[in-house]
C-alpha cells in the first residue's frame, strides 16, 4: 500500500513539476475546446437520430371551421382526433409536453371576425415539430393571412416544450460522446508516455530490481494516470460548459431565459462515479496496450484502432439515447454502458439499476484489466523483449 | 566460508526476432547467452567476471538480480531460492547495470529519496547516508540538477549511489567503471574496497584487467556463455599477467571449438 502511494507521488511529481506538460495536458484542451466551440457556435440539430416518419396525433378543439378539417385529413402521417367535451385544454397541453400527443389546434373567433387558430406544439418532439411545419405549410397554401390569424396572440406560449427536458435530451445525446472523446484523448496524452516511454528508456527496469511488487507498480501507475486523466478531462469539461451557450441551439437558449440549471447534486455525483469508473477502464485498456508496446510511437499506433472503436460506439450510443427504456443488458457493455448512463443522467432519465450496473461492471472490468497489467509487468517478454 | 551466492548450471536462451537475426547476420532463431554456468561467492569477497563482448556476463548478472529468469538451473542468494523468493533477494542485493536508467526529469536528490522509500529505509538513516554518499562522489553540488542535464559520468555515479540506497549485503555491479575518467574510476575502485571492508560481498563484471588485478579475490572467465575458469586471482597470475592468462584461455577455447 505504501509503495503504491510512493509510486503515485512520483507520477504526480513527474507531471506537475513539468510546466509544459501541465499546460499541454491540463490547460490547452479546455482552452481549445472553449475557443473552437465559441467561435464555431454551431447549432446542434435536435432531430439527430429521431424517427421522422412517425404518425402525429393531432387534437382539434371544436368548433372546427369548414375546410380546415378536410385539409388536415389529407395531410400525410397525421391522425386527426376531435377533443371530447370533457377534455380540458390544459390537460391536452400537458399531454403535448409529455409527448403523448403532438399537436392541439383550437379555433376561436377574433374581434375582426376572422377565425383565430392556435396551434400548440412541442419543439423538443420531432414528430410534433414536423406536424407543426406541415400544418403551417397547409394553412399557408390556403392563404391564411387573409382568412385567419395563426398563433397570433403574443401573450400565449404555443410551444409547450418542457425546457428542462428539451435541454436534457440535447445534452443527453451529445455530451456523453463529447465527454468520452475528451476522456480518451486525456488518457492518450499521458498513459503511453508513462508506461511505454518508461519501458523504452529503461527507467521501469530500475524499479523492477527494488522490492516493490509488480502489482503495486501496476496499480500505482494506473491509479495516478487515472487521476491525471480525470483532471485533464475536467479541464476539457470546463471548457465545454463555458462555451455551451453558443454551442446549443440558439432558439433554446433564447427561450430558456427563465430556465434554471436543474441538475441535482445526486446527478453530479452519479456522473462523477460513472466518469471515474469509465476512466479506470479506459486508462486500463490504454495501459495494457502501452505495456505491450516497445515505444511511445508503437503504443500510439496500437491505440488508434481502440480510439476509432470508442468513437463508433459513441456515435452508436447517440442514436440510442432518446429511445425510451433500454435493455438492461446493454449496461454491461464497457464504454457503451458509460455513454448510455451519462445520456440518462443528462436527460433526467435516471434509473438506479442501470447506473449501478454501469458503475460496478466498470469497476470489475477495471480490476481485471489492472490484473492483466500486473501479469504483463511480471512478464520478462513484455518488459525486456527486444 | 559462508556461501552467500550459489549459481548452479544456469542456462538462458533468447529467442531472436527476424530483425535481430538480420542484425546478427545469422539465421539461427535462438541465441544461447548463458550455457550451463555455475559459480559461487563467499561472504566478504570481491568476485570479478571477465569475458569478451557478448559472452553472457550481463545476462548472468540480470538473472541473479531477478530481472530475467533462467531457463534452467538454480540460483540461491543468502539461502533464498530465486524461483520462490525473488522479492527477498531484491531486498538484499544492489544491482547496477547500464540499461537500468534513472528518470532524467528528476534530480539526484529526489530520486535518492524515492528509491529509499521503495526500499523502506528509515528516513533519518537515509538522510545521513545520502549526505555521505553524495559528498563522497561529488554529487552534492548537483543534487538539485535534473539527471538529464548531468554529464554521463555524473549520471553513472548517481546510478551507482542509488543502487545501494538500502545498504545491501550483496552488490552486483556490471561494468561499474565503464565511461568514467581515471580519477572517478579510482574513486569507485576505492569505494568497492571500502564496501568489502565493511563485510559486503561484491560481484562485478568488467573488461578492465587492472581493476580485477587490484581488487578481486577471485576471477571467473566466461566465454560463449560458459564459465571456462573460476579461480583465486593469486593463483591465476602466479607467473603471467592476467591479460596473458585471459588470452591463453581464450585461444585454447576457440581452437577447441574449431577442431
Ligand atoms: N533480450 C535479448 N534478446 C536477444 N538476445 C539477447 C538479449 N540479451 C542478450 N542477448 C544476447 O546474448 C548474448 C550475451 O549478451 P550479454 O549482454 O550477456 O553479454 P556481455 O557479456 O554482457 O557482453 P558485453 O561485454 O558486450 O556487455 C549476446 O549475444 C546478446 O546479443
Ligand atoms: Mg554486458
CATH superfamily of B3-258: P-loop containing nucleotide triphosphate hydrolases (3.40.50.300)
pTM confidence score: 0.79
Q: Please, what's the b/e burial string for A276-301 (b: 16 or more CB within 10 A of its CB; e: otherwise)?
A: bbbbbbbbbbbbbbbbbbeebebbbe
CA distance B208 to B203: 14
Q: Which of A335, A336, A337, A342 shows the shortest CA–CA distance to A187? A: A335
Cβ–Cβ gap A209/B115 under 8 Å:
no
Cβ–Cβ gap A208/B67 under 8 Å:
yes
Q: Which residues of B touch A208 (CB under 8 A)?
A: 67
- Among A109-113, A171-175, B114-118, top mean pLDDT goes to B114-118
Report residue B168's pLDDT band, with 50, 70 and 90 as the boundaries. very high
Q: Please report the residues numbered 51 through 70 in chain B whose beta carbons come closer than 8 angstroms to any beta carbon of chain A.
A: 65-69
pLDDT tens profile A200-256? 999 999 999 999 999 999 999 999 999 998 888 888 778 777 766 655 544 444 444
pLDDT tens profile A139-166? 888 776 677 778 877 778 888 877 666 6
Using the mean position of ligand 2's atoms as its centre, give its distance from the Cα of residue B58 in Å: 4
Nearest-neighbour CA in chain A from B15: distance (Å): 9
Say if residues B228 and B251 touch (Cβ distance below 8 Å). no
Domains of chain A as residue ranges with CATH: 2-46+163-383 (no CATH), 56-122+126-150 (3.40.190)
Ligand nearest to the CA of B15: 1
CA distance B166 to B168: 6
Predicted confidence at residue A254, as pLDDT, reads 45
CB contact, 8 Å: A327 with chain B? Answer: no
A206: nearest CA in chain B? B100
Q: Which residues line ligand 1 (CB under 6 A)?
A: A 384, 386; B 14, 16, 20, 31, 33, 51, 53-59
Report residue B5's pLDDT band, with 50, 70 and 90 as the boundaries. very high
| Among the partner residues B95, B101, B114, nearest to A6 by beta-carbon distance | B114
- Asked if residue B44 has pLDDT above 50, the reply is yes
Ligand nearest to the CA of B52: 1
Task: Tell me the sheet residues that pair with B232.
Answer: B218
Predicted confidence at residue A299, as pLDDT, reads 95
C-alpha cell at A51: 424517427
Q: Which residues of A touch B91 (CB under 8 A)?
A: 211
What's the sign of the alpha-carbon dihedral A322, A328, A334, A337? positive
Helix-strand-coil split of chain B, %, nearest 5: 40, 25, 30
Q: What is the ipTM of this complex?
A: 0.90
What's the sign of the alpha-carbon dihedral A370, A372, A375, A379? negative
Residues A280-300, mean pLDDT to the nearest whole number: 94
Using the mean position of ligand 1's atoms as its centre, give its distance from the Cα of residue B69 in Å: 14
- Asked if residue B153 has pLDDT above 50, the reply is yes
B101: nearest CA in chain A? A203
Residues A17-25, mean pLDDT to the nearest whole number: 87
Pocket test for ligand 1, best of B31, B60, B97, B205 (most atoms within 8 A of CB): B31
Q: Which residues of A touch B17 (CB under 8 A)?
A: 386
Q: How many residues does chain A have?
A: 386
Pocket test for ligand 1, best of B34, B53, B54, B222 (most atoms within 8 A of CB): B54
Residue ranges of the domains in chain B?
A: 3-258
Predicted confidence at residue A195, as pLDDT, reads 94
Please indicate whether residue B133 or residue A350 has the higher confidence score (pLDDT): B133
CA distance A229 to A238: 14
- Asked if residue B57 has pLDDT above 90, the reply is yes
CA distance A363 to A375: 18
CA distance A346 to A298: 37
Which protein residues have their CB within 5 A of the ion that is ligand 2? B 58
The whole-chain average pLDDT of chain A stands at 82
Cβ–Cβ gap B87/A213 under 8 Å:
yes
- Asked if residue B172 has pLDDT above 90, the reply is yes
Amino acid at each position: 500500500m505504501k509503495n503504491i502511494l510512493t509510486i503515485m507521488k512520483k507520477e504526480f511529481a513527474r507531471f506537475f513539476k513539468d510546466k509544459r506538460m501541465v499546460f499541454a495536458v491540463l490547460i490547452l484542451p479546455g482552452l481549445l475546446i472553449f475557443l473552437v466551440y465559441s467561435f464555431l457556435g454551431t447549432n446542434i440539430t435536435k432531430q439527430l437520430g429521431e424517427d421522422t416518419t412517425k404518425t402525429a396525433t393531432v387534437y382539434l378543439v371544436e368548433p372546427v371551421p369548414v375546410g380546415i378539417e378536410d385539409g388536415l385529413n389529407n395531410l400525410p402521417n397525421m391522425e386527426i382526433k376531435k377533443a371530447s367535451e370533457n377534455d380540458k385544454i390544459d390537460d391536452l397541453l400537458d399531454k403535448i409536453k409529455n409527448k403523448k400527443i403532438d399537436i392541439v389546434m383550437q379555433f376561436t373567433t377574433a374581434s375582426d371576425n376572422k377565425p383565430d387558430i392556435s396551434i400548440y406544439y412541442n419543439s423538443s418532439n420531432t414528430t410534433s415539430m414536423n406536424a407543426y411545419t406541415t400544418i403551417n405549410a397547409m394553412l399557408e397554401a390556403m392563404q391564411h393571412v387573409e382568412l385567419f390569424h395563426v398563433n397570433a396572440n403574443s401573450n400565449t406560449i404555443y410551444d409547450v416544450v418542457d425546457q428542462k427536458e428539451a435541454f436534457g435530451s440535447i445534452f443527453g445525446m451529445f455530451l456523453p460522446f463529447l465527454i468520452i472523446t475528451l476522456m480518451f484523448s486525456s488518457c492518450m496524452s499521458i498513459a503511453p508516455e508513462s508506461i511505454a516511454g518508461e519501458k523504452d528508456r529503461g527507467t521501469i527496469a530500475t524499479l523492477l530490481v527494488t522490492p516493490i511488487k509488480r502489482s503495486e507498480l501496476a496499480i500505482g501507475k494506473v491509479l495516478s494516470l487515472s487521476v491525471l486523466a480525470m483532471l485533464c478531462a475536467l479541464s476539457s469539461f470546463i471548457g465545454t460548459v463555458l462555451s455551451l451557450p453558443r454551442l446549443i441551439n440558439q432558439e433554446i437558449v433564447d427561450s430558456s431565459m427563465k430556465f434554471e440549471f436543474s441538475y441535482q447534486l445526486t446527478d453530479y455525483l452519479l456522473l462523477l462515479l460513472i466518469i471515474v469508473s469509465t476512466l479506470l477502464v479506459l486508462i486500463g485498456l490504454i495501459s495494457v496496450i502501452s505495456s505491450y508496446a516497445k515505444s511511445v510511437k508503437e503504443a500510439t499506433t496500437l491505440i488508434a484502432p481502440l480510439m476509432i472503436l470508442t468513437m463508433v460506439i459513441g456515435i452508436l450510443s447517440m442514436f440510442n439515447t432518446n429511445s425510451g427504456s433500454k435493455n438492461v443488458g446493454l449496461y454491461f457493455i464497457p464504454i457503451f454502458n458509460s455513454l448510455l448512463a451519462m445520456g440518462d443522467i443528462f436527460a433526467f432519465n435516471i434509473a438506479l439499476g442501470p447506473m449501478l450496473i454501469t458503475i460496478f461492471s466498470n469497476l470489475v472490468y477495471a480490476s481485471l484489466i489492472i490484473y492483466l497489467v500486473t501479469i504483463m509487468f511480471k512478464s520478462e517478454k513484455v518488459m525486456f523483449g527486444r | 566460508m559462508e556461501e552467500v551466492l550459489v549459481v548452479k548450471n544456469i542456462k538462458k536462451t533468447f529467442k531472436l526476432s527476424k530483425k535481430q537475426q538480420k542484425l546478427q547476420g545469422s539465421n539461427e532463431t535462438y541465441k544461447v547467452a548463458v550455457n550451463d554456468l555455475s559459480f559461487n561467492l563467499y561472504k566478504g569477497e570481491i568476485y570479478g567476471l571477465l569475458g569478451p563482448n557478448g559472452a553472457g556476463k550481463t545476462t548472468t548478472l540480470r538473472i541473479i538480480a531477478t530481472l530475467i529468469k533462467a531457463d534452467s538451473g538454480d540460483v540461491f542468494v543468502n539461502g533464498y531460492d530465486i524461483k520462490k523468493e525473488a522479492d527477498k533477494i531484491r531486498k538484499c542485493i544492489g544491482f547496477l547495470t547500464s540499461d537500468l536508467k534513472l528518470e532524467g526529469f528528476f534530480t539526484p536528490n529526489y530520486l535518492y529519496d524515492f528509491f529509499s522509500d521503495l526500499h523502506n529505509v528509515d528516513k533519518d538513516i537515509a538522510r545521513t547516508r545520502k549526505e555521505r554518499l553524495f559528498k563522497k562522489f561529488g554529487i552534492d553540488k548537483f543534487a538539485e540538477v535534473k539527471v538529464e542535464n548531468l554529464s554521463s559520468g555524473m549520471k553513472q555515479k548517481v546510478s551507482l549511489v542509488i543502487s545501494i540506497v538500502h545498504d545491501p549485503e550483496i552488490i552486483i555491479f556490471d561494468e561499474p567503471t565503464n565511461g568514467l575518467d581515471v580519477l572517478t574510476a579510482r574513486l569507485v575502485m576505492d569505494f568497492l574496497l571500502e564496501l568489502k571492508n565493511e563485510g559486503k560481498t561484491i560481484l562485478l563484471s568488467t573488461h578492465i584487467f587492472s581493476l580485477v588485478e587490484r581488487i578481486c579475490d577471485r576471477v571467473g572467465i566466461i566465454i560463449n556463455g560458459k564459465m571456462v575458469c573460476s579461480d583465486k586471482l593469486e593463483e591465476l597470475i602466479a607467473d603471467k599477467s592476467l591479460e596473458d592468462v585471459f588470452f591463453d584461455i581464450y585461444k585454447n577455447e576457440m581452437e577447441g571449438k574449431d577442431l
